[in-house]
Amino acid sequence: MEVYQAVTTLLAVREFQKKPVSETLVNKIIESARLTGSSMNLQPWHFILIRNRGTLVKIGELVTSGKYTAQANFAIAVATEKSSQFAISDASRAIQSMMLTAWSEGVGSNWTGWVGMTKVANLLGIPKNLDVIAVVPFGYPKKIHTKGIKNRKSLKEIVHAEEFGKSLS
Ligand SMILES: Cc1cc2nc3c(=O)[nH]c(=O)nc-3n(C[C@H](O)[C@H](O)[C@H](O)COP(=O)(O)O)c2cc1C
């Protein structure tokens, strides 16, 4: 899948098939995070690969907005260095890299949770200097509720030509 196609079709996937994701693809997804650019190339991030079903189920209980992680083939918890003011931007880029890489190979995913997931951090043995900002479950999509249709603001609402408030012709 070419980049633009992946970007424009990527959707949040919240239901997964049991079909396993290959080791090769899991590694490719992780590599896409590792190779993502970060501010001053500081790479203030850690990625915890979770494949153990018991752990996935526990995370599904802890992250109430992402209960479906329990059914994912695997998940990646993303932890950032609390001392870095750029860490959320950096890690968000890495998350998007992983989601697009997975999607381009037919694997769905979604961002779940938000900063301060201390219970997840404790479960995964993550040191106190790091903050868990997301858990990203992955798997082959069961079905896509939105049928590929994106619900987004119109160009007019968010894009300005030269000056704020001037619409593109
Ligand atoms: C920072 C961030 C946090 C999110 N948290 C959750 C979450 O906790 N649970 C969830 O199901 N989706 C979460 N999402 C996914 C959004 O709901 C999703 O990207 C948005 O609704 C657009 O979905 P679509 O691309 O399928 O249209 C999050 C997305 C972002 C960027």
User: Does 9 sit in the ligand 1 pocket, CB within 6 Å?
Assistant: no
| Residue-number span of the structural domain to which 82 is assigned | 3-143+150-158
In a domain, 164, yes or no: no
In a domain, 165, yes or no: no
pTM over cut 0.85: yes
In a domain, 166, yes or no: no
In a domain, 62, yes or no: yes
In a domain, 87, yes or no: yes
pLDDT by residue (tens digit) across 99-111? 999 999 999 999 9
Return the CATH number at 61: 3.40.109.10
pLDDT by residue (tens digit) across 87-134? 999 999 999 999 999 999 999 999 999 998 999 999 999 999 999 999
User: Does 146 sit in the ligand 1 pocket, CB within 6 Å?
Assistant: yes
Q: How many domains is the chain built from?
A: 1
* Ligand 1 midpoint to CA 98 (Å): 15
Q: Which residues of the chain have pLDDT under 50?
A: none
In a domain, 12, yes or no: yes
Quote the Cα angle for 64-70-76, to 5°.
90
